[in-house]
Structure 1
């Protein structure tokens, strides 16, 4: 089974990681750390796929790939 693709972005204003996906209908969740987001996705993704009738029969594991983006600013030291 090919992995479901998830996009994770750092929301600097709210100070949380936010995940969304075109592959997983209804996915919109967040967490304080990237590691916590991954753990949350391990629960939420299979639930949403099942609710939407997209989880293949007999699927034990649901692979997903996360593309993360976090924009930072570096100060130049003179």
Structure 2
């Protein structure tokens, strides 16, 4: 199997959506309300974008790695 295509997902607290992009997949930029909905998108988008950019590998499947991170602030209770 070929190397995995790495996708970054970050929470946009202003827009209240997960945003995904990738250096490995030219043109990939998408968003979704939940991480589960975002995780489903690359299954169709990545092969389509790789084919459109002329870099679709041979074989029957590709591996996609989604790395998500979300920062939050916790309020401390003062004693």
Q: TM-score range by the shorter chain?
A: over 0.9
1:27 aligns with 2:9: no
Tell me which residue corresponds to 1:62.
62
Secondary structure class of the residue paired with 1:44: helix
Secondary structure class of the residue paired with 1:10: strand
1:60 to partner: Cα distance: 1.7
- Deviation string 1:34-63 (CA, Å, 9 cap, x unpaired) is 000010111111110011111112x22111
Number of aligned residues: 77
TM-score by length of 1: 0.93
TM-score by length of 2: 0.92
Distance 1:35 1:60 in 2: 24
- Deviation string 1:5-57 (CA, Å, 9 cap, x unpaired) is 11100000100000000000000000110000010111111110011111112
Secondary structure class of the residue paired with 2:41: helix
What is the alpha-carbon root mean square deviation over aligned residues?
A: 0.9
1:69 to partner: Cα distance: 1.5
Distance 1:2 1:14 in 2: 32
Work out which of the two has the higher radius of gyration on C-alpha atoms and give 1 or 2.
2
Tell me which residue corresponds to 1:76.
76
